[in-house]
Structure 1
Amino acid sequence: MTYAIAEAAHRSGLSIDTLRYYERIQLIDPPARDSGGRRAYSDDDLTWLEFLTKLRTTGMPIRMMREYAKLRHQGVASAGRRKQILVDQRSEVLGRIAELNSCLEILNYKIANYEQCERAVITEEHAASA
Structure 2
Amino acid sequence: MNREQERTFAIKQAAEQTGVSVDTIRYYEKIALLPPAARKGNGHRLYRDQDVQAIRMIACLKKTGMSLEEMRPFLAVSADADPGEHPELMEQVRHHRRTLTDLISSLQQVVDFIDLRLEEASFRPGCSGAPQDGIPQNSADKPLSPLQLDYFRYRPKA
Which TM-score applies when normalising by structure 2?
Answer: 0.66
Aligned CA distance change for structure 1 residues 40 and 121 (closer, same or farther; 3 Å): closer
User: For 1:52, which of 58, 69, 73 is the aligned residue?
Assistant: 58
Shift of the alpha carbon at 1:118?
Answer: 5.8
Q: How does 1:15-94 map to 2 (within 5 A)?
A: 15-70=21-76, 72=77, 75-76=81-82, 79-94=86-101
Residue deviations 1:26-67 (CA, integer Å, cap 9, x gap): 211122222333211122211221111110000001110123
Distance in 2 (alpha carbons) for counterparts of 1:4 and 1:40: 5
User: As a proportion of its length, which structure holds more helix?
Assistant: 1
Contact 2:121-2:127 at 8 Å conserved across structures: no
Correspondence for 1:105? 112
Q: Which residue identity does 1:96 align to in structure 2?
A: L
Structure 2 stretches of 5 or more lacking a match?
1-6, 130-158
SS where residue 47 of structure 2 aligns?
Answer: strand
Amino acid across the alignment from 1:117: R
Shift of 1:114: 1.4
Identity %: 27
Aligned pairs, how many?
120
Q: Which amino acid aligns with 1:7?
A: Q
Q: Following TM superposition, where does structure 1 have runs of at least 4 consecutive aligned residues deviating by more than 6 angstroms?
A: 119-122
Paired with 1:57 and 1:82, the residues of 2 have a C-alpha distance of: 18
In structure 1, runs of 5+ residues without a counterpart are 123-130
Aligned to 1:41, what secondary structure does the other structure show?
A: strand
Confirm or deny: 8 A CA contact 1:26 1:66 kept in the other structure. no
- CA displacement, residues 64-87 of structure 1 (integer Å, 9 cap, x when unaligned): 0123223x15x4485222212211
Query: CA 1:48/1:117 → structure 2, altered by over 3 Å: closer, same or farther?
Result: same
The 1:8/1:119 distance shift into structure 2, 3 A limit, reads same
Out of 8, 14, 25, which is 2:20 matched to?
A: 14
What CA RMSD, in Å, does the superposition of the two structures yield over aligned residues?
A: 2.3
Paired with 1:19 and 1:47, the residues of 2 have a C-alpha distance of 12
Deviation at 1:15, TM superposition (A): 1.4
